[in-house]
Structure 1
């Protein structure tokens, strides 16, 4: 039996022939053997982009309200422990190893993937710690994702766009059907995408979920020119009530108010079991942190980290970059080759002046040469320079940029993780 967390993770990676094996039957059997039946409310968060932001804001607000919160997210940037947090603290190596050992003893000959092991271990930790509420982020899709083995008391779909087409389908409606699989009969289902897919509405109606959509059952308005130039607040409204004069979330980006309003809708849905004061909402929105989502690293020149790895996220990053004061922008850019590289480049090419392109040393990683070819085919205007890895691209950027220039590192979790390692940054 493995002893250290590192040994366990190596062992889990070797267990299942596929990194991704969708389906609930295997993981449901092991869940039953472990008797993992949470008595606390479960919030499940799915969507193409914005899942991490919604989980982080929910965690911050509920923590500020005095609840012991269990939060399970993926993937991690630097350490596996980031995935499992209790009361805003990462689970220890010892706790995770103990959970993995219990799962290994219980599963018998049932094969589980790395993600399925992690999902069961997270819930085991939450039950062990007697949390007041758990937040579970869907890994892929929803309907057949391991997280969906736990019934959501409220389910949130942040956005629906094209990604993971090999698993979820190549149309927005097909993908919406997969994401709507986290909805449950008689419970509130929330959609923060302003263009609600028909398949999502149809599934909610078919199973008898109570669907709340942004700009319909809940919504928000930005209040400008409050307390002087540049300061902003916003109002939230829903069928349940109003929350006015709220601070703009500490997470930067154009879509964060959509995400924040979905958070408040989820809290409205659970208000009988988990009442949350206005003070807790304000504190949570101001204090929330999330690495790698339009994250500004302190110092000069400006360094922005963003895990944007599909066209939808890239369009959001482009909009966020366009909202900043004009500056020469260097991209430290690396992607996985099974992602829509051309779509990401198309979304961002007008915001980048110099492309510093790196390879990713992972089985699915694109080489710098492959990515440079995609850039040339997209007829980008900026200079293209290739590097063996992200650290080398970042080092070059830091040597050539002026103080008034900025560096944007994006394209995958791997890209951001390598930049964080090179700069000796920590998560949280």
Structure 2
């Protein structure tokens, strides 16, 4: 591969070349929200007009699993589905999939080269560039349904140039406050930017900020709200869901939040695509899983991965661990986080559950040092610090007992690194 300093669009040969070239033009960590640049380039080739029926999914947590639930249920009906999401865990290709298959290197290379020619002298951020490339491939694929996951916020995110038939708002919590605002009201207003005039939005957040309701009222957007327009209830061995017109029972329990699956069902009903065949729905839901979300690498000794990285997702993780840790002698947490996520109280929900903390430093500029994580833990915590994920993970593995549970969480970067190192796992005895 060419070196970073010598890369040009003409010298790019591989997908890695192209991603390095885009990165050197505009580093990923330099975020510039706004639609003017990306819309101007998109309009040159009609990339903002995606084929099929388009669903735009925003929210603090739950976007990926909501999209995956919808994807499984749509594929079970014989429909073709494109899903665009971010970030990825192991390979950039994961950001775009067609009928569960990641877009190939050749697809991405072709699309990125097209956008480089299309943009001419307009500067694009890394996310804008790759989002337009994804839209180019979606137009090429011509799916029946395109599920588009918002990258950051909603109103000014590059994905918001499309015109969705349906918008989804999963949850609203404190995250990305430097860009979206200081509180849930401000953040909710930004995320409600995916609503469209006189259309419908499915909303999973039950403690809805007034700002979201205000945006909907101004646009004439009809909100279908969790707890009002659709409901779900978990039992010991199954769960149920119902809206005003459909009731589903004996659904399989899932490893993802039921709130996300319930929202997917409501979205499909609104699209007129909720099959009322219980066996079909049950089978499709039973197959729902997403790498890095309550993801078991091994059982003995147990290793669990989850990308929880903000207060809401960490609180959910803590609730799940209260049950999952039963039968395990120790619960050890390997945690690496981004600097902007480390705030007083960020890890409080887990304090009573964790027997030992393994704190790891993540790469700069956004990654936090282990010592910064240490500063928000009480002095009485049992802690080990490491300079990187690999050393922390490998040394912790060597000390794991068969009845221990190792939790890896805190960032997509942390989970991605451990997935890449998973061959180091000891074989179950």
Give the shorter-chain TM-score range.
Answer: over 0.9
Counterpart selection for 1:30 from 41, 62, 70 = 41
Where 1:122 maps in the other structure, the secondary structure is helix
Provide the secondary structure at the position in 2 that maps to 1:206: helix
Greater mean deviation of Cα atoms: 187-196 or 79-88:
187-196
Answer yes or no: is 1:186 the counterpart of 2:188. no
CA distance in structure 2 between the aligned counterparts of 1:59 and 1:296, rounded to whole angstroms: 22
**Aligned mates of 1:134, 1:424 — CA distance in 2:** 34
Map of 1:70-85 to 2, 5 A cutoff?
Answer: 70-85=82-97
Aligned ranges 1:397-416 → 2 under 5 Å: 397-416=396-415
Kindly indicate whether the alpha-carbon contact (under 8 Å) linking 1:162 and 1:175 is maintained by their aligned counterparts in 2.
yes
Equivalent of residue 86 in structure 1, options 98, 112, 121: 98
Distance 2:334 2:67 in 1: 27
Q: CA deviation at 1:71?
A: 0.3
1:374 offset after TM fit, Å? Answer: 2.4
What is the aligned counterpart of 2:70 among 58, 64, 68? Answer: 58
Trace 1:224-235 onto structure 2 (pairs within 5 A). 224=236, 232-235=237-240
Structure 2 match to 1:162: 174
SS in 2 for 1:374: coil
Give the Cα–Cα distance (whole angstroms) in 1 for the partners of residues 152 and 183 of structure 2. 16
Query: Is the 8 Å Cα contact of residues 175 and 310 (structure 2) preserved in structure 1?
Result: yes
Consecutive unaligned residues in structure 2, runs of 5 or more: 1-8, 425-429
RMSD: 1.6
Give the superposition deviation at 1:277: 4.7
Query: Within 5 Å, which residues of 2 pair with 1:23-422?
Result: 23-36=34-47, 37-224=49-236, 232-249=237-254, 251-252=255-256, 256-271=257-272, 274=273, 276-278=275-277, 279-324=279-324, 325-327=326-328, 328-375=330-377, 378-379=378-379, 381-422=380-421
Give yes or no for contact 2:252–2:282 (8 Å, CA) kept in 1. yes
1:275 Cα shift? 5.4
Q: In structure 2, how many angstroms separate the alpha carbons of the residues matched to 1:366 and 1:247? A: 39
Q: Deviations over 1:133-152 (max 9, x none)?
A: 01111110001001111112
| Distance (Å, rounded) in 2 between the aligned partners of 1:77 and 1:19 | 20
Task: Work out the CA distance in 1 between the residues paired with 2:161 and 2:150.
Answer: 11
Secondary structure at 1:344's aligned position in 2?
coil
How far is 1:244 from its partner? 2.5
- Under a length normalisation based on structure 1, what TM-score does the superposition of the two structures give? 0.92
CA deviations 1:232-253 (Å, max 9, x no partner) are: 222211134222322223x34x
**Residue 54 of structure 2 is aligned to residue 13 of structure 1:** no
* Residues 88 and 95 in structure 2, CA contact (< 8 A), matched pair in contact too: yes
Deviation of 1:186 (Å): 2.1
User: Helix, strand or coil for the counterpart of 1:20?
Assistant: coil
Task: Verify the 8 A CA contact 1:65 1:277 in the aligned structure 2.
Answer: no
For the 8 Å contact 1:311–1:340, the answer to whether it is kept is: no
Question: Against the structure 1 CA distance between its residues 55 and 343, is the aligned structure 2 distance closer, same or farther, given a 3 Å change threshold?
Answer: farther
Deviation at 1:347, TM superposition (A): 2.1
Distance in 1 (alpha carbons) for counterparts of 2:274 and 2:232: 20
209-218 or 393-402, which moves further after superposition?
393-402
1:25-71 deviations in Å (ceiling 9; x for gaps): 11111111121222311111111111111111111111122111100
Q: Is the 8 A contact 1:62 1:280 kept in 2?
A: no
Residues in 2 aligned to 1:222 and 1:414: alpha-carbon distance in whole angstroms: 32
Q: Which is further off, 365-374 or 284-293?
A: 365-374
The normalised TM-score by structure 2 is 0.92
- C-alpha change, 1:316 and 1:275, in structure 2 (3 Å) is closer
How big is the shift at 1:364? 0.9
Which whole-Å CA distance do the structure 2 matches of 1:404 and 1:341 have between them?
32
Distance of 2:154 and 2:135 partners within structure 1: 17
Contact 1:310 1:343 in 2 (8 A): no
SS for the counterpart of 2:83 is strand
Do the aligned partners of residues 398 and 57 (structure 1) sit closer, same or farther apart at CA in structure 2, a change above 3 Å counting? same
What residue in structure 1 maps to residue 4 of structure 2? none
- SS of residue matched to 1:134: strand
